[in-house]
Amino acid sequence: MKFRINKNDFKIRDEQDGTLSLMTLSTSQLIYLNTTARLLIQQEGIVDFEDFLKQLKFDGVEEVELRSDYQDLIYQLEALGIVEIVEEEPLTEHGCMLVGEKEYREVSKFILENGNNKFNFIDMTYPDNYSLQNLRARQFNGEEFNIIKLKDGKIIADVIIAVAPFNTGISVVSFSAIVMDKSIEENDVENIIKELLEYSSGLFADKYNKIRFYYTDEKQDYILNILKNIGFKKTCTLEKEICKNIDLTLYDKMM
């Protein structure tokens, strides 16, 4: 992150014990700050946040706490117009990201256009399940999350992770779909799936320790072999679990 202090828009007054009061000129808002804030507002020109942090040393204060406190302060001062954030962390053009409000439309389109591609793990019997509205409703309610892989700003893969509702204490998440862009080469499939699942593990590692998928004989063996290579192991088979005659096999991997 890079930021700049708008020095023309405020006046400060030194108060007791090293604190200061600051009034914004345009909105006449008054706030009280301590010594740590003084260090920030003294900065000149465009400041790189990481370089700024490196200069600081406070006894007994962990770097992670310092980082968090200063980030909060920057956003507070930005809300008052004192700080201008010149450059945020760039949205990834490559790599994985969790989908949000801005991406649902693109993700739905991606799934519907690529749902029947060769290297997929998805049930497209009811494509409406992957409409924008349904994807959004499930993710908004915390039932399911879409994690996508981007290349040059374009979605090339999506994994859908399902979560037990309301934190019932279950430590397992499962992925219910993997969709690949039609342009993906066979050699790249395993790495892409591995990256998506590793990114997902990072998101869920706090409360969950296992990731699972459910396999039936209806699915192609190709994707199963890839998942086994990544580290998934067969847990059990539930006989005649689906439609009275299809076995359901569980494959698990610790995060």
Partner 1 sequence: MELAFDNYFKREYSMLSKLTGPIMVSLDITQKCNLKCVHCFNNSGRSVPDELSDKEIIDVANQIAELHPHNVCLCGGETLCRENIFDIIGTLRGNVTKISMVSNGYKMDFETAKRLVDSGVSHIQISLDGKDCYQHDTFRGVKGSFNRAVNAIKNVKVCGVNRLATSLVPNKLNYKTVDEYIDLCYELGVNDVRMMPFLPSGRGRSIGRNLLLSNTEYFYFVEKVKSKKREYANRMNVEWGDPLDHMRRMPFNAEYGLQTYCMEVKSNGDITVTTYLPIVVGNCKKYTLKTYWDNGYDLIWKNKEIVKYIDKIQCIYDLDDFEPAPYSGEKIVFDIVDGIKP
Instruction: Find the shortest distance in angstroms from Cβ 102 to partner 1.
Output: 5
238, 250 Cβ separation under 8 angstroms? yes
Among 7, 54, 94, 105, binds partner 1 (CB under 8 A): 105
The set of long-range contacts for 11-15, using a CB threshold of 8 Å and a minimum separation of 24, is 12/41
Residue nearer to partner 1 on the CB measure, 103 or 181: 103
Among 114, 120, 130, 136, binds partner 1 (CB under 8 A): 136
Among 12, 56, 66, 80, binds partner 1 (CB under 8 A): 80
Paired tokens of 92: 């990834």
Paired tokens of 185: 């080469």
145 lies in the binding site for partner 1 (CB under 8 A): yes
Instruction: Find the shortest distance in angstroms from Cβ 239 to partner 1.
Output: 28
70 lies in the binding site for partner 1 (CB under 8 A): no
* C-alpha closest to that of 36 among 68, 73, 62, 76: 73
- Three-state DSSP at 177 gives strand
132 lies in the binding site for partner 1 (CB under 8 A): yes
Residue 253 to residue 126: CA distance in whole angstroms? 28
CB-CB neighbours of 140 under 10 Å: 11
Window 196-225: residues binding partner 1 (CB under 8 A): 203, 206-207
* C-alpha closest to that of 203 among 139, 109, 115, 107: 139
Residue nearer to partner 1 on the CB measure, 78 or 190: 78
Among 113, 118, 140, 182, binds partner 1 (CB under 8 A): 140
Instruction: Find the shortest distance in angstroms from Cβ 89 to partner 1.
Output: 9
Residue nearer to partner 1 on the CB measure, 45 or 90: 90
DSSP secondary structure code for residue 244 in this structure: T
The one-letter amino acid at 130: Y
142 lies in the binding site for partner 1 (CB under 8 A): yes
194, 157 Cβ separation under 8 angstroms? no
Binding site for partner 1 (CB under 8 A): 27, 29-31, 68, 72, 75-76, 78-80, 85, 97-105, 132-133, 136-137, 140-142, 145, 166-168, 203, 206-207
